[in-house]
């Protein structure tokens, strides 16, 4: 039984999110997703997500290839989350290539290619400009 873990904000759900979650799950037997809390997102991006954390959790947990979700409250706790959820594989999009190699001592770290030409930021910009 291989457990996969991944992290992200997953605001304004789009095909890039679905693709990475589907591919992450395919690397193992179960997938747990750490969803950035509203607070954490504010710290990272200096703005609150469009969808609040409860709604983002509900959206992601309703996907058939996601087994469980939790709120990621702090970027500094990645190691603790990986251990707590007994993850064998950490999956990140390749926008993070190399950034999580320090966790190779407790799990396998895999970077998957991003889906081209789509992001939450881009969708927000397009909607704003209409
Ligand atoms: N992701 C992806 N392909 C995309 C966009 C995102 O594979 N086109 C992946 C990211 O690499 C990450 C996960 O989806 O592993 C969650 O990313 P997130 O930052 O929530 O989404 P973005 O669309 O990148 O959001 P933003 O534009 O706000 O950075």
More confidently predicted of 130 and 125: 125
CB distance 25 to ligand 1 below 6 Å:
no
CB distance 20 to ligand 1 below 6 Å:
yes
Pocket test for ligand 1, best of 93, 112, 128 (most atoms within 8 A of CB): 93
Q: Identify the structural domains of the chain with CATH numbers, from first to last.
A: 3-129 (3.40.50.620)
How many Cα atoms occupy the beta-carbon half-sphere of 98 within 13 Å? 0
CB distance 93 to ligand 1 below 6 Å:
yes
Angle at Cα 20 formed by Cα 14 and Cα 24, nearest 5°?
A: 150
Give tens-digit pLDDT for 28-86. 999 999 999 999 999 999 999 999 999 999 999 999 999 999 999 999 999 999 999 99
Given a cut of 90, whether residue 130 has pLDDT beyond it is no
Alpha carbon nearest to ligand 1 atom 12, residue: 93
Predicted confidence at residue 96, as pLDDT, reads 93
Closest among 42, 58, 19 to 50, alpha carbons compared: 42
């Amino acid at each position: 039984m291989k457990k996969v873990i991944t992290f992200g904000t997953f605001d304004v759900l789009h095909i890039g999110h679905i693709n990475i979650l589907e591919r992450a799950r395919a690397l193992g037997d179960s997938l747990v997703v750490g969803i950035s809390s509203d607070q954490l997102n504010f710290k990272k991006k200096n703005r609150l997500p469009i969808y609040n954390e409860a709604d983002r959790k509900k959206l992601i947990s309703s996907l058939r290839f996601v087994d469980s979700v939790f709120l990621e409250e702090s970027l500094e706790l990645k190691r603790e989350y990986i251990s707590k959820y007994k993850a064998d594989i950490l999956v990140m999009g390749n926008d993070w290539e190399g950034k999580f190699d320090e966790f190779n001592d407790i799990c396998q770290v895999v970077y998957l290619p991003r889906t081209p030409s789509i992001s939450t930021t881009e969708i927000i910009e397009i909607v704003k400009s209409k």
